[in-house]
Structure 1
Amino acid sequence: MTLTVGRDVEWIDSSGDRRGRAAGVRRSWASAQPFDPRPTEGNQLPPEVNERRWKIVARGYVRSTVLLDGLVAALVGAALLVPLTGAPAAATAWALVGALFFVLMVAVFRGYDADNMGDGPAEFQAVLRGGALVGIALMAAAFSFEVDIPRTVVFAGVPALVATASLARYGHRHHLHHRRSAGEAMMRTLVVGEPSAVEQVVGELSIAPHHGYQVTGVCLPSLDNAVPMGGHPVMGAISDLPQVVVDNAIDVVIVAGHYLSGSALRRLSWALGRTPAQLVVAPDLVEVTGPRLSVRPTAGLSLLEVEIGAPRRRLVAKTVLDRTAASLGLLVLSPLIGAAALAVKLTSEGPAFYKQTRVGVDGSTFTIWKLRSMYLDADARRDQLLKDNEGQGLLFKMRQDPRVTPVGRLLRRYSIDELPQLFNVVRGDMSLVGPRPPLVAEVEAYPDMVQRRLHVKPGLTGLWQVSGRSDLSWDEAVRLDLRYVDNWSVTMDLMILWKTGRAVFAGSGAY
């Protein structure tokens, strides 16, 4: 093996394998020798910048979350126990004990791990499981020790605790996301791999800063013809990677593409073990997340198992959620639907309700119900307005559509015209959450990949509705629908329903 020493290094091993040009002398990734940081702008960050990094912020964020959970649990417990017992001092003491137990149970389910906080559903799942364990413990205490615990505490107090703690955490997380949008509480991130794969990962991370990954730079196989990726500098070749990490105070290294795999990836993990950085691998599985992925250790290999179809228990849970929530929704919202129908009838000629044939799961058709928001001749006038279409792909959209009535414009802004579709959900034609129910003509024009949207029931709301509604392009709407079809879960449905409320009240992207 030959080695040329200097600022730019080119390696050629004994088999003639050419390695890319690097910025420094290559050191073995299997060595136990530490990588000493060299003075750079990255590892000598000003104190005010360093204090805003996630590694520093996380400690305070975890502490404040623990205090928030404890405070919420104590307040909910006191609010329930004081009226029941009539003894404020004793009730408050028991509420504090319950709050401590709740915090401990959430901690058991890793609800305070910095890696699980600020992003993803894990921390909300920990709150739910911790609350369930509190309920089980109360029932066990009542049965085993014959303690007189009011049923209200178990069947009303625990759900109220979980709901209130989740809302408090949501607000806490929202504040964190706001800080991240301003460049605070971020993880300094280095993306490594071949240029095409690096460019894709950098692009995806750049449009979603709330996840906390701040791309500081990239490392490519060689410095030959290296150009910045998305405005981020090339900090070195892949062989320079560990030294680049310590020189630039990198928190996370993301490996993209195939250039580093197998034994090379294993050796990289050894090298990064001598640095403070985390190693993350971006798999080539596109838009496959969360519940569908699990690691199966076999014969010294780490096999990544991909769930092909949703298990029956998840399908049953979704059906129960849909039918129950839609029935309650119809019951509660029937006065609003009736008032809106009357307004439609009194202000424009024609029926109050509009029905149309749409395509459902696996290509079956059904009749969808909506409050009429357009004039009677809307379908006939559509062809005349095609030249003014502002939508993309198969969607027809106009911000100032002349076919929409004044009352219809108000109904659309707050999605009141969609409420009769709760009847479709109760019937089983639709789900609360899913892709947009398409027209027959749209489905006939679908490219092959888009047919995947029909694999699940269409929804009253979905990922595209909470991500911009009509402001989204056709391609982006399809991408979000396919992401939902591939990764849906009951937890995701609940999160989308929660975000739908925000989108509806804000009226963003609705026209």
Structure 2
Amino acid sequence: MTTVEVGAAPWVAPVPELPVRPQAPTDRIESDAARSSALAAGAAARRITPALERRRREQRRYRRRLVATDTAVIVIVTASASLLHLLAAGAPALAADPWVIFRLPFTAAVAWTAMLWAFQTRSPRVIGAGSTEYKLVAHATGLAFGFLAIAFIVLQWDGLRDQLILALPVGLLILLITRRGWRRWLIAQRRGGNHVSRAIVVGRRAAIEHVISTLERDNQRAYQVVGAALDDAPAGSAVAVPAGTYPVVATPATVAEAAREMGADTIIVASQLEDAEYTRHLSWQLEGTAADLVLCSRLTDVAGPRISFRQVEGLPLVQVRIPSFEGARHAYKRALDLLVAVVALVPIALVTPVIALLVMLDSPGGVFFRQRRVGLNGQEFDMLKFRTMRASAEQELPALLAQNEGAGPLFKLRSDPRVTRVGAVLRRLSLDELPQFWNVLRGDMSVVGPRPPLPSEVGGYDGAVFRRLYIKPGITGLWQVSGRSDLSWEQSVRLDLHYVENWSLMTDLMIIWRTARVMIRPQGAY
């Protein structure tokens, strides 16, 4: 969805004088009265409503909290890095340059804070907007220290190394953690009805139903739909979706007035209306009433990073970047895979003897289970897992096919009799998948990607489902942090295709973080 900010006009443009015929004093009085009435109505329309002022007040309060937290983190981290530098250098360094204890952290803190402000990391448009907020914080931090590195090299200031080695990674990590904490607080507040945009959805019935259903599934809870605006709906009608029923409160022509009366601060245009000038005139009518006019895009499963806007002679064009499955971005992804795999295999090597002993004591058979899976471009490979079933599990499968509870071509049983006691625990905690980091190191898999399918599953693919094989399968992915085995086949395919076409390094990092949470509180793992 595209958001257009609607600002409150601080003044009312005067009505231009038009040539009129001479008229009687009574006509002049009536004309002056009508003009005054029109000006008063226009001024009233542009006056900020209590609902809009409430929303802006909440945004200012939340922004001040972010400013306070960011500033505290930056000051503490930069001061700590400078203090450690002085402790390592000793008293002679402080005696030679007593201002170094203030100059280094002050300069770093000012540059860092300025970059966070310049990148608009606290703008309402990025708050709760997926990975955008985290990405902006990371970019601002990197650019700030890039400028500092250049300045310190030119000025030959001592202590740069400590700021880059300590302040940059530690400070960025803490900033992201605190932003995550504030976001969770914000979502909790939204569930209670605070910090939420009261929205009216405008358009045709089918489009309105689709938009409302999508918003109700959104975990961010950014919008609270209070009504719909239909052109041909009779009085007292409603729009029904699985989540509930929403009243029709206006027509597209009267939605601005309805927003003013109901205290709605956002209008969502769900479908393109016949009147080409409708959106423009609606934005004028909403001045002083709503903060956002949101245009719902018909582009399904296209993420924000692939969408850009440009103007050609006043014509707004929406550009959608075609997915690419090679190049520098994929080289960066491979570098991230290698880094994560190398780091992860160290603790995995330490716990493997313990898990291996438990597996062997629980049931006879090998420690590892090898299974043919299909990877990038249809290439098959042997995927490694800790064994969680009896050694005869493959031979017992045909007798259980009639009890299949899996979605589509997948075979799943909530209470599979072949799973051992230790295997059930490993599956619930996703520990059985730890050996797959060896597959990542070999290049067969990625840390994040679509679910690795069996050859028998790929044989049943048709149409767009083959696009799942355009990138390497992953140990984790959107499917794992969104319900795993509880997902339907269609939901699993949709999540995988969405990831294949819209992935980014920041998205991968967020999925890795969410996977760690899912391992602690497993859902759909059996």
**Short-chain TM bin:** 0.7 to 0.9
SS at structure 2 position matched to 1:185: coil
Give the AA of the match of 1:481: D
Q: 2:149 aligns with which of 129, 139, 148?
A: 139
Residue 180 of structure 1 aligns with which residue? 190
Matched residues, number: 471
Shift in Å, 1:479? 1.8
Shift in Å, 1:422? 0.9
% same residue: 38
TM-score by length of structure 1 reads 0.86
TM-score by length of structure 2 reads 0.84
SS at structure 2 position matched to 1:369: strand
Shift in Å, 1:90? 6.7
Distance 1:299 1:204 in 2: 34
Shift in Å, 1:423? 1.3
Contact 2:368 / 2:385 at 8 angstroms: preserved in 1?
yes
Give the AA of the match of 1:60: R
Q: 1:113 aligns with which of 123, 126, 135?
A: 123
Structure 1 pair 342/166, CA: closer, same or farther in 2 (3 Å)?
Answer: same
Q: 1:130 aligns with which of 135, 140, 158?
A: 140
**CA offset digits 1:316-337 (Å, max 9, x no partner):** 1111111222122223321123
User: Counterparts of 1:70-89 in structure 2 under 5 Å?
Assistant: 70-86=71-87
Distance 1:295 1:261 in 2: 22
Residue 268 of structure 2 aligns with which residue? 254
Structure 1 pair 409/91, CA: closer, same or farther in 2 (3 Å)?
Answer: farther
Distance 1:35 1:229 in 2: 37
Q: 1:228 aligns with which of 239, 250, 253?
A: 239
SS at structure 2 position matched to 1:432: strand
User: Counterparts of 1:180-259 in structure 2 under 5 Å?
Assistant: 180-224=190-234, 226-230=237-241, 231-259=245-273
Give the AA of the match of 2:409: L
Distance 2:160 2:313 in 1: 53
Contact 1:432 / 1:459 at 8 angstroms: preserved in 2?
yes
Residue 16 of structure 2 aligns with which residue? none
Distance 2:164 2:221 in 1: 35
Contact 2:108 / 2:148 at 8 angstroms: preserved in 1?
no
Structure 1 pair 463/504, CA: closer, same or farther in 2 (3 Å)?
Answer: same
**CA offset digits 1:35-80 (Å, max 9, x no partner):** 857xxxxx787xxxx99x6433211111000111111112222332
Structure 1 pair 261/461, CA: closer, same or farther in 2 (3 Å)?
Answer: farther
Contact 1:34 / 1:274 at 8 angstroms: preserved in 2?
no
Distance 1:44 1:315 in 2: 49
Give the AA of the match of 1:270: W
Q: Give the superposed CA RMSD.
A: 2.4
Shift in Å, 1:106? 0.5
SS at structure 2 position matched to 1:294: strand
Contact 1:359 / 1:437 at 8 angstroms: preserved in 2?
yes
Structure 1 pair 36/389, CA: closer, same or farther in 2 (3 Å)?
Answer: farther
User: Counterparts of 1:35-434 in structure 2 under 5 Å?
Assistant: 36=44, 54-86=55-87, 91=101, 94-95=104-105, 98-224=108-234, 226-230=237-241, 231-259=245-273, 262-273=276-287, 275-310=289-324, 312-434=327-449
Structure 1 pair 168/277, CA: closer, same or farther in 2 (3 Å)?
Answer: closer
Distance 2:42 2:441 in 1: 63
Distance 1:62 1:190 in 2: 25
Give the AA of the match of 2:72: L
Shift in Å, 1:261? 6.4
Give the AA of the match of 2:385: K
Structure 1 pair 467/92, CA: closer, same or farther in 2 (3 Å)?
Answer: farther
Contact 1:322 / 1:432 at 8 angstroms: preserved in 2?
yes
The structure showing larger relative contact order (alpha-carbon pairs under 8 Å, at least 6 residues apart) is: 2
Shift in Å, 1:438? 0.6
Contact 2:104 / 2:159 at 8 angstroms: preserved in 1?
no
SS at structure 2 position matched to 1:169: helix
Structure 1 pair 396/136, CA: closer, same or farther in 2 (3 Å)?
Answer: same
Distance 1:163 1:341 in 2: 34
Residue 6 of structure 1 aligns with which residue? none
Contact 1:80 / 1:153 at 8 angstroms: preserved in 2?
yes
SS at structure 2 position matched to 1:239: coil
Distance 1:106 1:386 in 2: 56
**CA offset digits 1:125-156 (Å, max 9, x no partner):** 22212211231232122211111124122133
**CA offset digits 1:241-265 (Å, max 9, x no partner):** 2211222222211111232563333
Structure 1 pair 54/443, CA: closer, same or farther in 2 (3 Å)?
Answer: farther
Runs (5+) with no aligned partner, structure 2: 1-37, 88-93
Shift in Å, 1:419? 1.1
**CA offset digits 1:256-282 (Å, max 9, x no partner):** 123256333333333334533311111
Contact 2:112 / 2:145 at 8 angstroms: preserved in 1?
no
Structure 1 pair 265/150, CA: closer, same or farther in 2 (3 Å)?
Answer: closer
Structure 1 pair 341/251, CA: closer, same or farther in 2 (3 Å)?
Answer: same
Give the AA of the match of 1:228: V
Residue 8 of structure 2 aligns with which residue? none
Distance 1:504 1:325 in 2: 17
Shift in Å, 1:221? 1.8
Shift in Å, 1:395? 2.1
Contact 2:141 / 2:172 at 8 angstroms: preserved in 1?
yes
Structure 1 pair 478/189, CA: closer, same or farther in 2 (3 Å)?
Answer: same
